[in-house]
């Protein structure tokens, strides 16, 4: 049986030791293939120097670590360490010098395989006279990654009809993808009075799939945008404002009475007339002038919130403020029961837009929200001497859309569903009785919810269904039913979650 070693000079030494045997570093019997060693061990290897000789050690999954977790065997002493940082500190105390981890060979090989396939495909499509003339054709140069561009057209031309070179997963490098994923967050600067820009990257070098920045001058990789800005400034370049952000932010909000001819003269004096030919949209001269004058008159070039007028030192802080403070009024809010004052809106600003009911009636003097967190928030505000404080969902009711009656419930479809065997006669009778109760109370039995102009995900179709009950799942006498358009599944909040319920059948009608 082969002996286990925990220190290797290179990857070939590891592959040669475990040829045609099971992996010695795993608890369960697993063939020690190259793919397994690269994905399971080499990917997380620890590199260091001992007496100026480069070495590396790999994590182990044997039974000595307990519970099948990864651990580290010290190559100098018999100690076993569970955490990577503890192992790093431990071997440093033995007198070795840690170095940066080399890129995973598996990732390099994966990229080489993709390049090889593309090269072979291109070679098959080459005209025969290219070989006769001995033309130097290098397909790999077309897929070389660049991190500095003079204009957007240069980026589009480099990645034509191929996958994006700056994303971890294979994604077609379409113009829409490059603009929304990379150009939107580009960093603009001047190097030797020449305007350039660099884009963020999502490749495997950054780790965890997060965006990062590759320095175009040195091989350093930086995770934070501000760190990258300071880093390239130390290289002697002058960072400028992001052109796309300015255009998108102000070209729709501008309301200025400055004469166009006067604006053109000022723009030429400020040397910003070249932005008229930008690819991100038509830029009127008064648009950039309005923003420029507003920035020049503000101390320390601070950014101003267009809604409340608060000043911010960075664009990211301004965006966060607008999203948290003013973004709630841009969320949908519909009145579904004008008699009782019941509204429906989205529970969260991000993620799956789950509908939530809100009750706000001045006639009944009731203000309630289905969210438990909102109820606790309003109770805490009342105990602090602010009983009139509303949650974010109740505040949106001031921007609610006018009540519009939904289409009438078609009871003939109940008969059709009964004939097809989708529901029994007793369930059909229950649906008819529920619809009659809703009509007697003067409310809608089923109210379909479409977000419409708010452009939210259309994966789910939501319904607000009358229940004639008051429970934890229907606090205002209505429940939420959703239909997944992709999988065809129905979901209801009622206590009959697994079996069919009359609320789902009413929504199917």
Each residue's pLDDT tens digit, 168-201 = 888 888 888 888 888 888 888 888 888 888 999 9
Give the count of beta carbons closer than 10 Å to the beta carbon of residue 170.
10
Domains in the chain: how many in total? 4
Q: In this predicted structure, what is the pLDDT of residue 327?
A: 64
Boundary residue ending a domain (102, 134, 155): 102
Instruction: Clarify whether residues 393 and 349 are in a common domain.
Output: yes
Instruction: Clarify whether residues 376 and 454 are in a common domain.
Output: no
* E strand segments, 111-192: 187-191
Q: Where are the alpha helices (DSSP H) in 135-242?
A: 152-158, 175-181, 225-234
Instruction: Clarify whether residues 344 and 369 are in a common domain.
Output: yes
Crossing angle for the helix pair 285-296 and 243-250, nearest 10 degrees? 100
Instruction: Clarify whether residues 378 and 426 are in a common domain.
Output: no
Q: Is residue 34 part of a domain?
A: yes
Q: In this predicted structure, what is the pLDDT of residue 464?
A: 93
Task: Answer for the pair 494, 476: CB distance below 8 angstroms, yes or no.
Answer: no
Task: Answer for the pair 241, 273: CB distance below 8 angstroms, yes or no.
Answer: no
Instruction: Clarify whether residues 375 and 449 are in a common domain.
Output: no
Q: Is residue 255 part of a domain?
A: no
| pLDDT band at residue 358 using 50, 70 and 90 as cut-offs | very high
Q: In this predicted structure, what is the pLDDT of residue 347?
A: 86
Q: Which residues are paired to 201 by β-bridges?
A: 212
Residues in the chain: 509
Instruction: Clarify whether residues 232 and 150 are in a common domain.
Output: yes
Share of the chain above pLDDT 90, in %: 8
35, with CB counted inside 10 A (0-12, 13-18, 19+), is: exposed
Q: Is residue 353 part of a domain?
A: yes
Q: Is residue 246 part of a domain?
A: no
DSSP 356: E
CA pair distance 333, 355, nearest whole angstrom: 10
Instruction: Clarify whether residues 393 and 416 are in a common domain.
Output: no
Instruction: Clarify whether residues 61 and 38 are in a common domain.
Output: yes
CA pair distance 91, 44, nearest whole angstrom: 16
Task: Answer for the pair 247, 278: CB distance below 8 angstroms, yes or no.
Answer: yes
Q: In this predicted structure, what is the pLDDT of residue 438?
A: 92
Beta strands 311-312; 333-337: pairing state: unpaired
| pLDDT band at residue 253 using 50, 70 and 90 as cut-offs | very low
- pLDDT value at 273 more than 70: no
Instruction: Clarify whether residues 417 and 391 are in a common domain.
Output: no
Structure tokens at 353: 């837009």
Boundary residue ending a domain (102, 129, 158): 102
Q: Is residue 429 part of a domain?
A: yes
User: Mean pLDDT across the stretch 128-156?
Assistant: 58
Query: What rounded mean pLDDT belongs to the chain?
Result: 76
Lowest mean per-residue pLDDT among 103-117, 433-447, 479-493: 103-117
User: Mean pLDDT across the stretch 247-253?
Assistant: 41
The DSSP element (H or E) to which 20 belongs, if any, is: none
Instruction: Clarify whether residues 434 and 460 are in a common domain.
Output: yes
Residue 34: give the domain boundaries.
Answer: 11-102
Instruction: Clarify whether residues 377 and 439 are in a common domain.
Output: no
Instruction: Clarify whether residues 388 and 430 are in a common domain.
Output: no
Q: Is residue 129 part of a domain?
A: no
CA pair distance 442, 5, nearest whole angstrom: 79
Boundary residue ending a domain (365, 399, 433): 399
Q: Is residue 264 part of a domain?
A: no
Q: Is residue 31 part of a domain?
A: yes
């Amino acid at each position: 049986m082969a002996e286990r070693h925990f220190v290797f000079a290179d990857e070939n030494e590891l592959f040669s030791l475990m040829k045609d045997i099971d992996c010695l570093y795993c608890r369960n019997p697993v063939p020690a293939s190259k793919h397994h060693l690269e994905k399971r061990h080499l990917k997380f290897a620890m590199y260091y120097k001992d007496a100026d000789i480069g070495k590396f050690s790999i994590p182990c999954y044997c039974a000595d670590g307990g519970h099948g977790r990864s651990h580290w065997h010290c190559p100098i002493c018999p100690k076993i360490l569970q955490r990577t940082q503890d192992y790093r500190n431990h071997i440093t105390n033995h007198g070795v010098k840690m170095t940066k981890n080399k890129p995973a060979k598996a990732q390099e090989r994966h990229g080489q395989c993709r390049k090889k396939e593309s090269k072979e495909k291109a070679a098959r499509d080459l005209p025969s006279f290219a070989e006769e003339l001995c033309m130097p054709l290098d397909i790999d140069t077309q897929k070389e990654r660049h991190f500095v561009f003079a204009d957007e057209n240069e980026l589009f031309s480099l990645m034509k009809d191929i996958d994006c070179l700056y994303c971890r997963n294979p994604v077609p490098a379409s113009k829409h993808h490059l603009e929304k994923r990379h150009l939107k967050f580009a960093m603009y600067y001047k190097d030797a009075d020449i305007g350039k820009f660099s884009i963020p990257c999502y490749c495997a070098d950054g780790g965890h799939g997060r965006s990062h920045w590759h320095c175009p001058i040195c091989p350093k990789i930086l995770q934070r945008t501000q760190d990258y800005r300071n880093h390239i400034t130390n290289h002697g370049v002058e960072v400028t404002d992001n052109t796309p952000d300015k255009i998108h932010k102000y070209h729709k909000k501008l309301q200025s009475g400055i004469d166009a001819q006067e604006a053109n003269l000022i723009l030429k004096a400020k040397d910003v007339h070249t932005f008229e030919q930008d690819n991100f949209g038509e830029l009127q001269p008064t648009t950039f002038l309005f923003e420029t004058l507003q920035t020049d008159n503000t101390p320390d070039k601070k950014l101003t919130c267009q809604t409340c007028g608060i000043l911010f030192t960075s664009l990211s802080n301004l965006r966060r403020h607008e999203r948290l403070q003013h973004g709630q009024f841009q969320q949908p809010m519909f009145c579904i029961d004008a008699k009782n004052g019941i509204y429906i809106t989205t529970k969260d600003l991000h993620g799956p837009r789950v509908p939530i009911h809100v009750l706000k009636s001045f006639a009944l003097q009731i203000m309630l929200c289905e969210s438990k967190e909102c109820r606790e928030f309003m109770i805490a505000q009342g105990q602090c001497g602010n009983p009139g404080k509303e949650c974010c969902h109740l505040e949106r009711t001031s921007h609610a859309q006018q009540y519009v009656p939904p289409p009438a419930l078609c009871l003939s479809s109940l008969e059709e569903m009964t004939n097809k065997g989708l529901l029994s006669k007793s369930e059909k009778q229950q649906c008819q009785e529920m619809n009659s109760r809703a009509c007697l109370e003067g409310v809608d039995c089923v109210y379909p919810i479409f977000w419409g102009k708010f452009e939210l995900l259309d994966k789910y179709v939501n319904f607000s269904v009358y229940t004639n009950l008051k429970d934890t799942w229907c606090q205002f006498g209505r429940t939420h039913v959703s239909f997944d358009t992709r999988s065809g599944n129905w979901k209801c909040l009622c206590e009959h979650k697994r079996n069919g319920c009359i609320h789902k059948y009413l929504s199917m009608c």
